Structure formats: structure tokens, C-alpha cells
Chain A
């Protein structure tokens, strides 16, 4: 709570800076319009107009918020194709696009995390696996594996696999490697003293895993899950670009095709809200878990 005032100040300063930037970014177009009409344009009028353009170079914050509201609540509640009137989500609303992205992200994240944990257990308990697989898992963190995304989408599409699955595969492999590396670190977190203690208690391998290694890996597990879900979301958005079947990535791309800047910004903010919510949920689970385990205040 000590940080609340500074954080709010910084946030307000950012929004103010944004408003200030709107005027010079959009002024040229207004001046051109005025010159074409042969009229002079005053400063106050210029400011007012730059805040309310149809296709601004930089939309004002309130325009983005209005577009977000328009394409979620208004579209679903009052729109002809909205949920209120038809019982199904409108394909023009950000709720629907966000859901398309979210479902692929979550499916991929769950698969990637599950496989990652399994591989990490294998690496920790098998020396050969450690020596053969671990260097590649670490190296894969330094290369832009997201470059594979368009190819995976198009190739799977050509063999008849479309929709959710290809995007989920991309989301899965992007969250896979951070989880492997984090979990290996976490499962190795207990020191020799603690492992010896388990041995003096005559604990079996399974008990050692469940009662010592797994609990002590939890902080690492949650930290890598936060990285993993953010990576999954980026992977899904990029995976939506080549085949346009809905999703926030499609909103971004179609917005840039048709010069709908406000739509791009709204989609960008929807993606940001989605990412913040997902990371926030994992953070909440992390706090609850660590508190029950006595690892956090």
C-alpha cells in the first residue's frame, strides 16, 4: 500500500503524456484539412479535433476506452448479432475474439506446462536425460522459436487440422521450455542436507519427491508459469495471423489492413487486459499456495 500513491502518480503521468502526444501526432491531418478548405484553424479547435478523429494516427485514451466498451458490452447487449439477441457471441465483438484467443492459449498452456513438468522430473531423476536434453532446452530459450508459428499453422492447415489445435500447439511449445528450465531448477532447489535428512528418515524415492522436491519447487513453478502464460498468449496471437479465423491477432491485422487505428488499439488493450488477468490469476494462486505451505507471509 506504501507504493499506491507513486504507482498512481506514474499511471496518471503516462495517461497525461499520451493525451499530450495525441495533438502533435494528429495535427498534420487537421491542418491539411483546414488548408484544403481554405480556413484557418485555432489552437483550441485543433486540440478538440485531434481528440476526435475517425482514423487518428494516435487515438486518445478515451477513444480507445469507448471502442472497448462499444465492441464488448454494446455489441453484445444491443447489437443485431449480439449475445442478448441471438444467444451466441457476436463475431464482431472483442468478447468473442478474446475468447477464441483465450481458449487456444489456455489449452496450449495446460499441455505445455504438463509436458514441461513431466520432462523436468525426467531430467532431475535421469542423468542421461539431463545431459542430452537439458542443453537443448536452455539453448531453445535464446532462439526466436516463435518464427516457427506461421509454418505450423499453414502445414497443419494443409493436412486438415484447423481451428483451435494448431494455435494451441504453438502456445504449448512456447510455454514448454520456460517451465522445463524453471522446474528443473526448482526440483533441484533442496540442498544436500535436506536430501540427507529424507534419507535418514528412510523415505522412499516417491516420498522424497512428494514431500521435499515438489514443495520446494513451487516458487519456481509459479514464476515460470507466469512467463509461460505470457509467452503462450503471444504465440497464440502470432498464430492467428496466417489463417484469419477470429482472435485478437486477427483484429490487430485487419485493423492494420484497413487503417482502423482505434480498432488496433482496442484489440491491443484487450490482449493486455487478458495477459494481466491471466498473470494476476496465477499470482493469486501462487500467494494462496505459498501461504498455505508457510513459504510466504
Chain B
């Protein structure tokens, strides 16, 4: 048995095993259900074929480029199967629209989607992100000067960062009204503590020897900060910025579920779900994914430019 298995190249073993299991299930089902459903067989064949292609690719051409190609093939296969399955089984559009319909909606309502992006991302999330992270960095500089404050704020900040701060959304809507300031306020509350904790940790990342060296050069606090401590803190600061980037869009969208003017991504999602216009909902989610990963990617790229000296960024 193991000898026979050794003959099969390793990349094909998983495919073979899956095919065996599928065959077994089909055979066991046969007496009760009659002939196997050809639609299911088609979908399974595509899935196994794509998987085998991927496995062969990765085994035959190891490397980063092949990895990226495999990921693209995997994603394309999933979308293709989604399209085919919804059409073959005639899934009602109010449950799961096919990707082509979502794409058509995406193209047809570009204007509306752009209005939502401006309202939610550029006004709500971005304003909150800028205020929240900026305030956190400034506050971290103050906290850093007093050891007592740092020892007290770090555990409290860590604790607050784990809480469901998004629940403050109804309160912020009450205080700042339906429009984007309330969303920005929620984002500020969400990003402040993760950013603060990261920056304070980063400012403590220099060694005593390095700080002593700055002192022997009689560098002022500001000079030490600019020349030594801020650069050393950059990996931590960018980590905080990346966390804040993800949180800001989540906060802005969810805050709109608690009340918003008649535009915005969260508003559109909740109302179109109510009208069962699921293609619009999926289009909005696709846009949210695009905006979210772009915003995150921006900070990741900037991080690579700024902290090129850090071990985690070298050797790429």
C-alpha cells in the first residue's frame, strides 16, 4: 500500500484522496438517489482540476512568483465555481447573486458607490484615523516623559484596546449627529489606544547605551527624539498605523448601522439588505475590500520605505 502510494507524486496525493472520497460518497448515494447529479460532478471536476494544477505548479516550479500565481488561480477558481454553481442550481438572487451580476452592478452604479466611499472613507474613516493616530502619537510623547504615567497607561490602554469600543457608536451618533463627524469620533475612540500603546512601546525601544551616547554628545530632548528615538520607534508606530487602518474602516462602516445620512457604505449595506438587493450589497462589500486593502497596503509600502533597516524588512 505504502509502496503504491510512493509511486504517486506528492502533489497528486491530496487530489487522489479527495477524488477517492468523492467517488465513495457518490457510490454510496447511488442506490437511493439514482444517477449522480451531473452538475455536482462538473463542479467537483473543476475544483479537483484546478487544485491539481496548483499542486503541480507549486511542486514543479518552487518560488515566490509561482506562489502568487497559485493564489490567483485559487481565487479565480472560487469565483468561477460561485458563478457556475449559482447558475446551475438557479440559486435565487435574493440569497446569492452570481459574481457576474455583482460585477455588472459595480460598473452600473459607480457614481453611487463613489459617493458612499467619499462619505464613509474619505470623510468618516480618514478624518478619524488622522485625528486618532495623531492625538495618540502626541499623547505618547507626553506619556513617555513620565515613567509613572507610562507604567499606569500601558496596562489600561492594552485593556481598553481589547474592549468592543465599536459599541460607543450609538452614543457618538447622539452626540455628533448623523453625519460623518460621529463616524470619525467612533474611529478616533477605536484607533487611539492601539496606536498609543504601540507608540509608547516604540519610544521605549532604544537601549540605554544609545541614549547615553546621545547624552555624551549633549543632544537635547528634541534632538534625541528626532535622531534616535523616533526612527527606532518606527516599526512599532507603523504596526499601530496598520492596525488603525483596518479598524478605521470597520468603525466607520459599523457606526453607520446606528444611523447615518442617506449615503455611506454602512448605510447602503443595511438598506439594500433590507430591500434584498444583494448584488448592490456585494458590490459595496467588494468596494470596501478594495478600499480597505489599498489603505492598508499604502501603510505597508510606506513602512518598507521608512524602516528599510529593520530585520523584518530586509532580505525580501
Q: Do most interface residues of chain B lie in helix, strand or loop, or is the interface mixed?
A: helix
Tell me whether B148 and A128 are in contact (CB under 8 A). no
B117 adjacent to chain A (CB < 8 Å): no
How distant is A209 from chain B, measured CB to nearest CB, in Å? 17
How distant is A123 from chain B, measured CB to nearest CB, in Å? 12
A89 adjacent to chain B (CB < 8 Å): no
Tell me whether B293 and A142 are in contact (CB under 8 A). yes
How distant is B191 from chain A, measured CB to nearest CB, in Å? 14
Tell me whether A7 and B75 are in contact (CB under 8 A). no
Tell me whether A238 and B254 are in contact (CB under 8 A). yes
Chain B 222-270 interface residues, beta-carbon cutoff 8 Å to A: 245-246, 249-250, 253-254, 257-259, 265-266, 269-270
Q: Give the CA-CA distance A128 to B18 in the complex, in Å.
A: 14
Q: Give the CA-CA distance A248 to B59 in the complex, in Å.
A: 50
Tell me whether B285 and A275 are in contact (CB under 8 A). no
Q: Give the CA-CA distance A154 to B273 in the complex, in Å.
A: 7
B51 adjacent to chain A (CB < 8 Å): yes
Quick check: which of A67-75, A186-194, A200-208, A229-237 contacts chain B, the rest being far away? A229-237
How distant is B8 from chain A, measured CB to nearest CB, in Å? 14
How distant is B78 from chain A, measured CB to nearest CB, in Å? 9
Chain B residues with CB under 8 Å of A97's CB are none
Tell me whether A151 and B164 are in contact (CB under 8 A). no
Question: Do A233 and B164 form a contact, CB below 8 Å, given A127-B58, A144-B249, A261-B174?
Answer: yes
Q: Which chain B residue has the least Cβ–Cβ distance from A259?
A: B174
Quick check: which of B152-160, B202-210, B308-316 contacts chain A, the rest being far away? B152-160
Chain A residues with CB under 8 Å of B153's CB are 6, 10
Quick check: which of A28-36, A46-54, A129-137, A287-295 contacts chain B, the rest being far away? A129-137
How distant is B66 from chain A, measured CB to nearest CB, in Å? 7
Chain B residues with CB under 8 Å of A241's CB are 257-258, 270
B36 adjacent to chain A (CB < 8 Å): no
Q: Give the CA-CA distance A131 to B162 in the complex, in Å.
A: 32
B119 adjacent to chain A (CB < 8 Å): no
Tell me whether A127 and B59 are in contact (CB under 8 A). yes
Q: What count of chain B residues pass the 8 Å CB interface test?
A: 68
Q: What count of chain A residues pass the 8 Å CB interface test?
A: 59
Tell me whether A230 and B162 are in contact (CB under 8 A). yes
Chain A 134-178 interface residues, beta-carbon cutoff 8 Å to B: 134-136, 139, 141-144, 146-148, 150-151, 154-155, 158-159
Tell me whether B70 and A264 are in contact (CB under 8 A). no
Query: Using a Cβ cutoff of 8 Å, how many contacts connect chains A and B?
Result: 172
Chain B residues with CB under 8 Å of A144's CB are 246, 249-250, 253, 288-289, 292
Tell me whether A2 and B151 are in contact (CB under 8 A). yes
Chain A 3-34 interface residues, beta-carbon cutoff 8 Å to B: 3, 5-11, 14
Chain B residues with CB under 8 Å of A265's CB are 171
B82 adjacent to chain A (CB < 8 Å): no
Which of B54, B162, B281 neighbours the largest number of chain A CB atoms within 10 Å of its CB? B162
Q: Give the CA-CA distance A252 to B186 in the complex, in Å.
A: 14
- Which of A7, A132, A147, A242 is B284 in contact with, Cβ under 8 Å? A147
Chain A residues with CB under 8 Å of B71's CB are 131-136
Chain B residues with CB under 8 Å of A261's CB are 171, 174
Tell me whether B170 and A253 are in contact (CB under 8 A). yes
Chain B residues with CB under 8 Å of A14's CB are 156
How distant is B186 from chain A, measured CB to nearest CB, in Å? 12
Tell me whether A234 and B164 are in contact (CB under 8 A). yes
Chain B residues with CB under 8 Å of A151's CB are 269, 273, 278, 281-282, 285
Tell me whether A256 and B156 are in contact (CB under 8 A). no
Which of A132, A242, A256 neighbours the largest number of chain B CB atoms within 10 Å of its CB? A132
Q: Mark A64-97, 1 if CB is under 8 A from B, else 0.
A: 0000000000000000000000000000000000
- Which of A130, A253, A264, A275 is B163 in contact with, Cβ under 8 Å? A275
A218 adjacent to chain B (CB < 8 Å): no
Q: Give the CA-CA distance A148 to B270 in the complex, in Å.
A: 10
Q: Give the CA-CA distance A275 to B158 in the complex, in Å.
A: 13
A104 adjacent to chain B (CB < 8 Å): no
Question: Do A147 and B253 form a contact, CB below 8 Å, given A128-B14, A230-B164, A275-B162?
Answer: yes
Chain B residues with CB under 8 Å of A143's CB are 246, 288-289, 292-293
B139 adjacent to chain A (CB < 8 Å): no
Q: Give the CA-CA distance A255 to B254 in the complex, in Å.
A: 16
Chain B residues with CB under 8 Å of A146's CB are 250, 253-254
A180 adjacent to chain B (CB < 8 Å): no
Tell me whether B274 and A238 are in contact (CB under 8 A). no
Question: Do A128 and B54 form a contact, CB below 8 Å, given A237-B166, A272-B164?
Answer: yes
A213 adjacent to chain B (CB < 8 Å): no
B68 adjacent to chain A (CB < 8 Å): yes
Tell me whether A158 and B68 are in contact (CB under 8 A). no
Tell me whether B297 and A142 are in contact (CB under 8 A). yes
Residues of A within 8 A of B (CB): 2-3, 5-11, 14, 57, 126-128, 130-136, 139, 141-144, 146-148, 150-151, 154-155, 158-159, 226, 230, 233-234, 237-238, 241-242, 248, 252-253, 255-256, 259, 261, 264-265, 267-268, 271-272, 275-276, 279
